[in-house]
Amino acid sequence: MTDPMKFKQSTIWVCLSLILLCLGGCGSASSSQSDSGADFRVSGTFGAGISGRPGGHISGYQTKLTIGAKVITDVIAVSADGYSRKLGTVTTSNFYIDIDPGKAWIIVFVDRSQVGTNMIVAKFRSQLLDTLRPAGTATGVDLGEISMTSSPTSDAAIASPSISFADLLSAISMSSSDADFWGRLDDVSLRYVNPDVDSNGIMDILEGFTPYLDFHNRFQPRVADAVVTMNAIKNSFLPDSTQFSYTSTGVIFEIAKSRFSAPSSFDYRFADAGGYTNQLYEENLLYERYQFDVEGGQPVSGTYNYRVGGATYTFSDIRVPTMSVASGFILPLVVAPRVIL
């Protein structure tokens, strides 16, 4: 298997979740499964499209909040890099969830009686924003009455707040220009909207399961149509005339090694296109987790499925921005310290 962390001389590797979302975490092993230590509270009441009725119970819930054929039993938040997960509280009329400021979070309303992607009842969205990214100085936001409408691109409904967009930005201390920037990028984090990636009928957060899906994009720098090697940028800055062209992407599914023994191969399918493709797998003992790497061209949007270790893992609502134009990327250069005698 290709080592996803290895630099090739003719290629610059860029971690999508790091560069596009400024979130870090590529290759990180840390995670948080509870809502302890968070100090930004997101709350709201249930409004249009949601009805409550007494009687019966689902997973201990004495009142059902229904939207269509589904029941809202939980609200969860997942950081846009996938490494932190929070579980909130749902009552018969409202909800609240505590998240850490300084990170972008997707908010998902869940029916825990379902399995896999069917658990998704609705996902938060306000205008262009698919995530909430409160500043470190922000303390909380009341989203007001949450209404839920069908989405043209997903089976999950859209949970829209009644709070005005201006008031929402004020509560999270985000400028309108920053909101426009983040709103054009943060839909890539919707790959973590599925609360039951392993489709075993238990919310991942309740079983301490933290799956990841990383995109590593490669760009090739050229100067005067000549390929720039790594040696050429060592202790040197590239000229303004440098051109960057997209070459390929590595799609990497990561999972804790405690889930199963190292497999000899795995199957994958992207965007529900055709059947599964089988790929041999060789464990890298230096990795903390298994990393199932598929190398290819421009990734497609849709649902990604992996079959490995006797289970199927599903990442839904994949939104992939085009990599055809390499502009606005940050290229870090390592420069050796100078010694002045």
Q: What's the whole-model pTM score?
A: 0.80
Is residue 151 over pLDDT 70? Answer: no
The tokens describing 4, both together, are 């996803």
Q: What is the pLDDT of residues 155-175, one digit of tens each?
A: 678 999 999 999 999 999 999
Percent of the chain scoring above 90 in pLDDT:
52
Q: Which residue in this structure is represented by tokens 């426009």?
A: 180
Measured on CA atoms in the order 291, 295, 298, 302, is the torsion positive or negative?
negative
Q: Are 128 and 183 in contact (CB under 8 A)?
A: yes
Mapped onto helix, strand or coil, the DSSP state of residue 216 is strand
pLDDT at 135: 93
Q: What is the pLDDT of residues 68-78, one digit of tens each?
A: 778 899 999 99
14-28, 84-98, 241-255: range with highest mean pLDDT: 84-98
pLDDT at 32: 41
What values do phi and psi take at 188, rounded to 5? -65, -25
Q: What is the pLDDT of residues 123-142, one digit of tens each?
A: 999 999 999 999 988 999 99
Angle at Cα 184 formed by Cα 164 and Cα 46, nearest 5°? Answer: 35
CB atoms within 10 A of CB 127: 12
Q: What is the pLDDT of residues 30-68, one digit of tens each?
A: 334 444 455 899 999 987 667 764 333 344 444 567 777
Weakest-pLDDT range from 15-24, 65-74, 96-105, 201-210: 15-24
**DSSP letter string, 136-196:** TT--EEEEEEEEEEEETTEEEEEEE-SS-HHHHHHHHT--HHHHHHHHTTGGGGGGG--S-
Q: How far apart are CA 192 and CA 196, in angstroms?
A: 10
Which helix (DSSP H) or strand (DSSP E) does residue 19 occupy? helix 16-19
Question: Cα-Cα-Cα-Cα dihedral of 115, 116, 119, 120, to 10°?
Answer: -160
Q: How far apart are CA 21 and CA 18, in angstroms?
A: 6
Mapped onto helix, strand or coil, the DSSP state of residue 316 is strand
